[in-house]
Structure 1
Amino acid sequence: MFISIGIINRSDRILHSYCAISSERCLLPCNQQAQSVNGINEGFMKCKIIAAIAMLTAASCGYAAEQEVPMNLVSADGKEVSIGKITIQETPYGLLFTPALHSLSEGIHGFHVHEKGNCAPALKDGKPVAALSAGGHFDPKNTGKHLGPWSPDGHLGDLPALFVTHDGKANYPVLAPRLNSLKEIKGRSLMLHAGGDNHHDHPEPLGGGGARMACGIIQ
């Protein structure tokens, strides 16, 4: 199993910065990581070492509390279709989100904790919007900034984006180093967006992720 710590596209534009470790061996040399990840994703992904890898070089293979969150495709008319689950685990380095999802569009998808545990549609400008009842990105400090999972100055609910392979599946875990306990996000929701996430508010707000595509409530 790979924990995604830094997916960068071929133009070297950072989509989310984190490297890859194997839970079976705790740590692979980075050249092996790159070969393995590229092999799985047919050359789309490559691993890069950044400062965040320092937190994981002595990673433990054991996990503490965990919780499964059922995920559903959402729509403006309130219909939901199951696409699998995401397992959240507490680790010494933050919360680990392990997706087991299917029936998704290939590529990078913005992924966040939203403030409310409600995946129902709601009205915006008089029109229903899918999963709008979930509110915005979880932002307990009211920063009003979308800066990704590592900056202390932005939304706490900003997570590394999820990668969906050509067969419509998402299985690569991502780590949220600023979230330490399941209690912090209990009663909120997980949201997957139709587009990617550059972890900035420019050129588009909220990373440019677009429509809310899938949602699940963290019980």
Structure 2
Amino acid sequence: VDALALINCTSSQAGWIEWAYQKMNSRSLKNRGMTQGVLDYLMWHHFGRFPEERNHDLTQMYRMYFTRNVNPTNLSLLIDAYVRRTDLGIARETDTIKVPVLNITGALSPHVDDTVTFNGRLNPNNSTWMKISDSAMVLEEQPAKISEAFRLFLQGEGYVAPLSPTKITAYRRLSDAGRRRPCRHSPVIRITENPISEAVVC
């Protein structure tokens, strides 16, 4: 692994209150199926507080999906596995993640504190914490900002050729107009597994 990009990452085990609440949701799913309490928890887990005030269409779509398409037994097993998670056992001073880390969360996410705790365990020289404004579920609510963050992160690691601001603007203009850019004119991006020759001694 050369780098990590993590979204709403949790590095600690569940506390007693979380454990009890999750067990109650899991038991409810197994015995009665999808209930209003479980549905409210799922909406909070994905969107934080008051999601309808921000993006009504997206929250309605997810609420309908959770109500109609989710298998309650499978969801209860997923919740049980999530609540049984263990601490990652990393600390900034001793044993931490060695590869570069991009740690992303949404400003309205219920997991902001978990990402701050995780970021506190990482080496600040090779980790970046990013909080995306006006979102909780960043991949769905702010995909442009996330893709730009990924591009810049990979570019910083040497995996993506830098694009000038004029090329980015032109590419966005073509994309917004709905026209596809011919492949022969697209920029060539080469990803190499080990960009540094083994003959080079640092």
| Larger relative contact order (CA 8 Å, sep ≥ 6) | 2
What TM-score, normalized by structure 1, do the two folds share?
0.23
What TM-score, normalized by structure 2, do the two folds share?
0.25
Larger Cα Rg: Structure 1 or Structure 2?
2
Greater strand share, structure number: 1
